[in-house]
Structure 1
């Protein structure tokens, strides 16, 4: 893990404007196409998703290795999110960027928004600065409020994608539902607002009713607007694994046991 940290810092950290680039070639050289997959709509140097998972990995590394450079970069990443990634007007995340942080899209990813809300607080708490903890907690509640207001379907589930013009993809993805539970529980624990706890319970009810495969195990990965699994979806693949929903279960067990 320490070696990987140093490699990321050496090859992926972007010192001029801050943040981390999307990808490198096998020899750590430059890539013409930085997209992580063909599903990505933009070939851009920076994305909210990559930055979030760098922050997540660094936060967990800090738990066992309080390296000064690591601490410095967690602080840097938190400021990147607070100053560039999160839109202060809407409290949603911007998704794709030019190197200088010009946003390339107005699309919204509600699962990423609610996931970001709690991972920011987790990182700030591990970092240990009181003012930063308070700032991220306030931002997290605003982000949860935004998703609560615009990113939930009538059945309480988290919608996949939208924009200022409305919902783009009405289907339900397993990871969005998992992150929704943790994000809304986190917002409830910070604010005490019971509607966030109720939102988490409604998402769990949707998962139990539609997403858990009772016959074969695991979760279906995508549910359509009729509440049925989308045909042809694999349960495990390059982009499908037990990561989000296993983490959500463990996270909620931990939070409930501490309350």
Structure 2
């Protein structure tokens, strides 16, 4: 495993982070919004609200784990952009999308975006001790709880306008449906609250994080099949026959992180984490070592998406640590072999491909854009380095 750790560490410090550091926009702020498939930089690409938060989290986490000043410089740069351009001082919250100059293009306040703001700001606080960043994180927490939570159905809302009036959830729906509740948003609120609780715990935060665990166990996790639901109406009825393999295995370790942060010893939660991992291991790991993307109405998508592979490796490593089952260790090794041989872009100036098609060819899609940032693969590397140390 030491060889595995070293290989992953080298990928992070010599390949992933240098690629993103080179996109720092010194003139306007933030980071350039698009690198096309041919590796040309679009200096006028849009700068996503989620992307800006993910840049801040990635460089803050890299600095907290390594102490490297070059990552701190990028984290400070990302924080300045988020505070000065992304945060709406009039109505509160973070915008969905900015243009390349840092002006709002789409001013919706999606709960998903706010959660990434909390995740990033709390990580920046953990890395630097910046009290202002913690205040912004707590402002976003209060806004989500006040404006973005429905007590009537015990669910977090999705898309809202600039003034926090609810809108149809076009941003996080797909396959021809409009979902009033998504597992994706709940998962990233959980992720954000866990990090904020680790940074600066309060009893209110503990209660809200505990409630999220209960939501997952009671509403999202299907105890019969061991899958998670994906899209729901406002009464928590599933509205699409879909299994999202990447989200399930990502959820298994993020749920476990929340359990550990709260210091819980509840067998039902622990078993949920383990059962999800065993289920995805048995249903979605492919012969080449990769993880399938999803299955919609019994039609399986065999595209190998970068974030799915990264999150799967962390999820299965977590399962190995939970169970000591060598099966999971072998899956992790197979995933890294697939990632390093197929997802990592070997071209000069490349990073990771967005995905690899079922036939093994890279998808010709931008390698940096509002949804693709250093977050997933930086986190994979940092998590694996720490877990393999343990």
Range class of TM-score, shorter chain: over 0.9
Counterpart-to-counterpart distance in 2, 1:110 and 1:18: 25
Match for 1:115 among 221, 243, 250? Answer: 250
Alignment of 1:61-80 (within 5 A): 61-80=196-215
* Contact 1:22 1:35 survives alignment (8 Å): no
Does structure 1 residue 20 correspond to structure 2 residue 153? no
Contact 2:344-2:351 within 8 A present in 1 as well: yes
Among 341, 352, 376, the alignment partner of 1:244 is 376
Structure 1 residues 203 and 41: CA distance shift in structure 2, 3 A: farther
1:35 and 2:170 correspond: yes
Kindly provide the CA deviation profile for residues 25-58 of structure 1, in whole angstroms up to 9, marking residues without a partner as x: 1110121x21215746421211000000000000
For residue 255 of structure 1, what is the aligned residue in structure 2? 387
Count how many residue pairs are aligned between Structure 1 and Structure 2.
Answer: 253
Specify which of 217, 231, 234 is matched with residue 350 of structure 2: 217
Asked if the contact 2:227/2:243 (under 8 Å) is kept, the reply is: yes
Question: Relative contact order (alpha carbons < 8 A, sep ≥ 6): 1 or 2 greater?
Answer: 2
Distance 1:149 1:22 in 2: 32
State the Cα deviation string for residues 209-259 of structure 1 (Å, max 9, x = none).
10101222310011011221012x11111211111111011001111112x
Aligned to 1:89: 224
Q: Does residue 175 in structure 1 map to residue 307 in structure 2? A: yes
* Alpha-carbon distance, 1:105 to partner: 1.4
SS at match of 1:162: strand
What pairs with 1:173-212 in structure 2 (closer than 5 Å)?
173-212=305-344
- The structure with the larger Rg is 2
Tell me by how many angstroms 1:124 deviates. 0.8
TM-score by length of 2: 0.63
Partner of 1:50: 185
Aligned CA RMSD, in angstroms, stands at: 1.4
Instruction: Say if 2:173 and 2:179, in contact at 8 Å, map to a contact too.
Output: no
CA contact (8 A) 2:191 2:258 kept: yes
Q: Which residue in 2 is equivalent to 1:8?
A: 144
Instruction: Provide the residue aligned with 1:139 in structure 2.
Output: 272
Unaligned stretches of 5+ residues in structure 2: 1-136
Q: TM (normalized to structure 1)?
A: 0.94
